[in-house]
Amino acid sequence: MLGTILYGAHDVRVEERAVPVILKPTDAILRVSAACVCGSDLWPYRGVSPVEKPMPFGHEYCGIVEEVGSAVASVRPGQFVIGSFFASDNTCPNCLAGFQSSCRNREAVAGAQAGMLRVPLADGTLVATPEIPPEDLVPSLLTLSDVMGTGWFAADAAEAGPGKTVAVVGDGAVGLLAVLSARLMGAERIIAMSRHPSRQKLAREFGATDIVTERGKEGVDRILDLTGGIGADSALECVGTRESMMQAIRSTRPGGRMSYVGVPYGVMLEVQELFFTHVSMLGGPAPVRRYLPALIDLVWNRKIDPGKVFDLTLPLSQAAEGYRAMDERRAIKTLLRT
Amino acid sequence: MLGTILYGAHDVRVEERAVPVILKPTDAILRVSAACVCGSDLWPYRGVSPVEKPMPFGHEYCGIVEEVGSAVASVRPGQFVIGSFFASDNTCPNCLAGFQSSCRNREAVAGAQAGMLRVPLADGTLVATPEIPPEDLVPSLLTLSDVMGTGWFAADAAEAGPGKTVAVVGDGAVGLLAVLSARLMGAERIIAMSRHPSRQKLAREFGATDIVTERGKEGVDRILDLTGGIGADSALECVGTRESMMQAIRSTRPGGRMSYVGVPYGVMLEVQELFFTHVSMLGGPAPVRRYLPALIDLVWNRKIDPGKVFDLTLPLSQAAEGYRAMDERRAIKTLLRT
């Protein structure tokens, strides 16, 4: 089968790879319906995080169960399923606390940009849709594997909710879906920080009430202007740089909450500044598994259309162009047809 | 009148100072009943934070109202009152959100180690006791001005509560009172991290169920041992160093909460490590004013005796020895009789 492999900075190749097989009784093998390129993939793609050996790429997936191991009870061949980028047993104390991406037995899923994929801990990881979905729902269902679940976690961790003023830092796919999530949670005012017209437009479609184009100190000042000098109740950091972290923290009112879901690399924070902000912080890899049933329901019933973040669809064979387009910010998010 | 002045590192002097007067209609002048030495005073005392000019010292206080400005309505001369180290208007949005120590009009109170003290924003800052307290209640009432309020905030911010397992990092007065606060909030298990027998004893009196003497990685491993490998639900950081911050963060379970109330100096944190812990963080100067009415009630009705943290009582004239004793950890906390 064909699959992508990252060889080094800016070097993604589509090559023939071995078809995965059941390795443990808890595994499942999926025929991948669609995969995509994640913003977090851009760290190794850009050489910011090292690539020590050729790496099968992709961790967002949905597809049809082809085969299950002997211990798998909750999904069966022929079902359409979605899972998280971290496989989880969904029974350990961390899973039961709702933090499946900190499962004590978690395993990273890798190599999803391919025709077939092995998913460990299938019972704790995969959630089936009611039936095989119509083709037009596949992109939105695919987002639930990571990017929509991550936007939802950003809104949940920062307690976006009825009556709240929410600032979203970052206009990538996660930031845009964080806007959608905050709207679904009932936030009153949602300020999207974006300077790209096409992304601003999608942010508005998803529920943003205000757009702030400024960054840095000017961006913080604009948020303060919009909130009577106090700051937002919730700030959702969806990038992963020091600039975006500080932007979010400084945009939050004392007693407010800031979430950070962009994978951070080499970011250091000065604690005394945090201390005097009185801002709560919670971040981390989204516990996608916690949200899958509710989000599948919303997509299935066509209440939300998070698949709109895919503005570039390519066959798997053109994955390298999919990466380039996202790296150069020509595309918000690339869907790969397998 | 006599009052303490910090001249530089390890140089506290008791000198004749001008009696404070009403400067604004919102001020009150107190006759100080008792003052004390704060752990945060040790930063400038040790030269860690610079002393640019001689600084009237002390910010924890209680006493009798001597005089009030023309705009003061909620307290009157003759009342015994307690206030926070940050004066607050208690009406701005940050105050109404319960974060009076981030009041938009806050003013630091300084020079409390003296016979008389000016307190700005008296209406929003001072809370009176039902009557003039008996002498034996004064030390406990004094703690409410900062150290007990800070321990309470540590427990509140980390959501210590019924059924919770709470780890307290730091066995200074704040840490010990954080133990007491967690007990009052109904925590099931309270692990005090302390290697000093006299402090361990007081921690047990205040409600600690377990003592961990190890620090660093060994300390974290002990907390994990005590919690089935998962970590504490809440970790309360009551020191302000990088070591104690990391101790607290690494001792908390994914989805748990860590509070930090020790004023941090020069502490940097690596965000990627925080990210993968899934630990919520909230810290800052305690919003003492929020807690004063409830805590005064608990002390007044002799439900709690936080004044036990004072293991050294000296006349104001011997303030320098009070600082030395705390600096050398010979005393947990020094009360100064004015």
Average pLDDT of chain B, as a whole number: 97
Residues A136 and A162 in one domain: no
Beta strands, E only, B26-113? 28-36, 55-56, 61-68, 80-82, 86-87, 107-108
Q: Report which of A188, A209, A180 is spatially closest to residue A298, judged by C-alpha positions.
A: A180
Query: What mean pLDDT comes out for the span B274-298?
Result: 98
How far apart are the C-alpha atoms of B283 and A150, rounded to whole Å?
A: 25
User: For the segment B27-54, what is each residue's pLDDT rounded down to a tens digit?
Assistant: 999 999 999 999 889 989 999 888 889 9
Instruction: For residue A254, give its domain range.
Output: 150-283
Domain identity same for B101 and B51: yes
Looking at the structure, tell me whether residues A120 and A205 fall in a common domain: no
Distance, in Å, from the CA atom of B70 to the CA atom of B26, rounded to the nearest integer, reads 7
pTM, entire model: 0.96
Shortest distance, CA B246 to any CA of chain A (angstroms):
12
Residue that terminates a domain, selected from A266, A283, A300: A283
CB contact under 8 A, B271 and A264: yes
Q: Which of A253, A254, A283 sits opposite B275 (nearest CB)?
A: A283
Q: What is the pLDDT of residue B118?
A: 98
Q: How many CB atoms lie within 10 A of CB A318?
A: 17
Chain B nearest CA to A155, separation (Å): 14
Residues in chain A with pLDDT values less than 70:
none
Percent of chain B exceeding pLDDT 70 equals 100
Grouping H, G, I as helix, E, B as strand and the rest as coil, residue A265 is: coil
Which residues does B52 contact at the CB level (< 8 Å), separation at least 6? Answer: none
Q: Report which DSSP code applies to B132.
A: P
CATH number of residue B248's parent domain: 3.40.50.720
Give, in order, the Cα–Cα distances in Å from A7 to each of A11, A116, B186: 5, 20, 55
Residue of chain B whose Cα is closest to the Cα of A153: B278
CB A290 within 8 A of CB A124: no
The answer to whether the CB atoms of A260 and B271 lie below 8 A apart is yes
**ipTM attached to this prediction:** 0.95
The predicted pLDDT at position B130 comes to 98
Q: Residue B263 gets which letter from DSSP?
A: P
* Residue B106: partners with Cβ closer than 8 Å, 6 or more residues away: B86, B87, B88, B100, B121
Of chain A residues 11-30, which have a CB less than 8 A from chain B?
A: none
Interface mutation vs chain A, best among B92, B275, B288, most A CBs within 10 Å: B275
Residue burial B250-263, b: 16+ Cβ < 10 Å; e: rest: bbbbbbbbbbbbbb
Q: How far is B280 from chain A (nearest CA, A)?
A: 4
- Which among B283, B303, B324 is the end of a domain? B283
Buried b (16+ CB within 10 A) or exposed e, A140-152: bbbbbbbbbbbbb
pLDDT value, residue A51: 86
The pLDDT of residue A49 is 82
A252 and A327 share a domain? no
- B254 interfacial to chain A (CB closer than 8 Å): yes
H helices of chain A, in order, are 42-45, 93-96, 122-125, 138-143, 147-157, 173-184, 197-206, 216-226, 242-250, 271-277, 288-300, 319-327
Domain boundary among A283, A301, A325: A283
- Residue B154 contacts A, CB cutoff 8 Å: no
Collect all residues of chain A within an 8 Å Cβ-Cβ radius of residue B43.
none
What is the pLDDT at residue B80?
98
Instruction: Please return the burial class of A204, using the count of CB atoms within 10 Å of its CB with bins 0-12, 13-18 and 19+.
Output: middle
Domain shared by A75 and A108, yes or no: yes
* Rg from Cα positions in chain A: 19
As to burial, measured by CB atoms within 10 angstroms (0-12 exposed, 13-18 middle, 19+ buried), residue A53 is exposed
- Residues B76-99: what's their mean pLDDT? 98
Angle subtended at Cα B143 by Cα B173 and Cα B79, rounded to the nearest 5 degrees: 175
pLDDT in tens, B201-229: 999 999 999 999 999 999 999 999 999 99
Q: What is the DSSP letter of A19?
A: P
Q: How many CB pairs under 8 A join A and B?
A: 117
Tell me which chain B residue has its CA closest to the CA of residue A92: B230
Average pLDDT estimate for B161-180: 98
A280/B272 Cβ within 8 A: no
Please check whether residues B304 and B248 belong to one and the same domain: no
Token pair, residue B24, equals 């604004």
Rounded CA-CA distance A296/B250 in Å is 34
DSSP notation for A106-156: -EE----SBSEEEESSHHHH-EE-SSPPPGGGHHHHHHTTTHHHHHHHHHH
Q: What are phi and psi of B285, to 5 degrees?
A: -65, 130
> Which among A229, A268, A284 has the least Cβ separation from residue B278?
A284
Domain co-membership, B216 together with B171: yes
B137 and B121 within one domain: yes
The beta-carbon neighbor of B281 closest among A268, A281, A285 is: A281
Q: CA of B12, closest CA in chain A: separation in Å?
A: 25
Measuring CA to CA, how many Å separate A141 from each of A60, A68, A88, A305, A307? 10, 21, 19, 9, 7
Region for A188 from its dihedrals, namely left if φ exceeds 0, alpha if ψ lies in -120 to 50, beta otherwise: alpha
Give pLDDT, residue A7.
95
Q: What's the CA dihedral at A306, A311, A313, A316 to 10 degrees?
A: -80
Find, among A233, A271, A281, the residue nearest to A254 by Cα: A233
A94 reaches B (C-beta below 8 A): yes
Q: What is the radius of gyration, based on Cα positions, of chain B?
A: 19
More confident residue, A125 or B266: A125
Are B130 and B210 in a shared domain? no
As a dihedral over the C-alpha atoms of residue A197, residue A202, residue A205, residue A208, rounded to 10 degrees, the angle is -70
- Assess whether A259 and A161 both reside in one domain: yes
Q: Do A142 and A56 reside in the same domain of the chain?
A: yes
Closest chain A CA to residue B157: A280
CATH code of A115's domain: 3.90.180.10
Number of domains present in the structure of chain A:
2
Query: What pLDDT was estimated at residue B49?
Result: 83
Q: Which amino acid is at A280?
A: S
What integer pLDDT is reported at residue B338 of this predicted model? 87
Minimal CA separation from B282 to chain A, in Å: 4
C-alpha A261, offset from chain centre: 8
| Residue A93 touches partner B, C-beta closer than 8 Å | yes
The reply to whether B199 and B304 lie within a common domain is no
Q: Which of A157, A267, A285 sits opposite B271 (nearest CB)?
A: A267
Residue B261 and residue B162: Cα distance in Å, rounded? 22
How far is the C-alpha of A80 from the C-alpha of A150, rounded, in Å? 21
Q: Which residues pair with B257 in a beta bridge?
A: B234, B280
Contact B255 A94 (CB under 8 A): yes
